[in-house]
Structure 1
Amino acid sequence: MNILPIDRALRIYGVLADRGETKGARELLSRHLMKLYTAGERDQHRLTVHGLSYLQDLDRRIDYSD
């Protein structure tokens, strides 16, 4: 899998959420997107969108656990 969707999702989400990269987010996002990639998703734009959704859910989980 190309690293582009991971970098793109982290960059876009950082701007939209006005937050820095959460510790461990890159690794978690990489694993999540790799699962989608191995399941057959090859569209880089769709992977980016999945990544944005994943990062939003990750932030919600972190905010609720605090």
Structure 2
Amino acid sequence: MQIAIDRIMHTYDLMMSRTQAASDEARTKVTDYVQSLFDGGEKDPHRLTVFGLTYLRELDGSNDPVKAGFTGL
């Protein structure tokens, strides 16, 4: 599980420019989220990494299709 969290944070830090405090907060949130997935039975580190990155992108709003300019038309 720790490997997945380290991958998530490394990748997310490359994608986003944030302060150390924001990075620490994101690590705490994604650790709790990945732990819940792990406790629920998901053991694949690659899937945990994808789920964790998706979770962080949803939290910061960068995964919002409307903000990205997609209107469905």
Q: TM-score per shorter chain, which class?
A: 0.7 to 0.9
- Give the total of aligned pairs: 59
CA RMSD of superposed structures (Å): 1.8
Shift of residue 41, structure 1, vs aligned partner? 0.2
Higher relative contact order (CA 8 A, sep 6+): 1
Structure 2: runs of 5+ lacking an equivalent:
63-73
> Higher helix proportion, which one?
1
Identity over aligned residues, as a percent?
Answer: 36
Q: Whole-Å Cα distance in 2 between the matches of residues 48 and 37 of structure 1?
A: 11
Which structure's CA Rg is the greater one? 2
Counting only pairs closer than 5 Å after superposition, residues 1-66 of structure 1 correspond to structure 2 as: 2-17=1-16, 19-20=17-18, 22=22, 23-60=24-61
Runs of 4+ in 1 over 2 A off after TM superposition: 20-23
TM-score, with structure 2 as normaliser: 0.71
Structure 1: runs of 5+ lacking an equivalent:
62-66
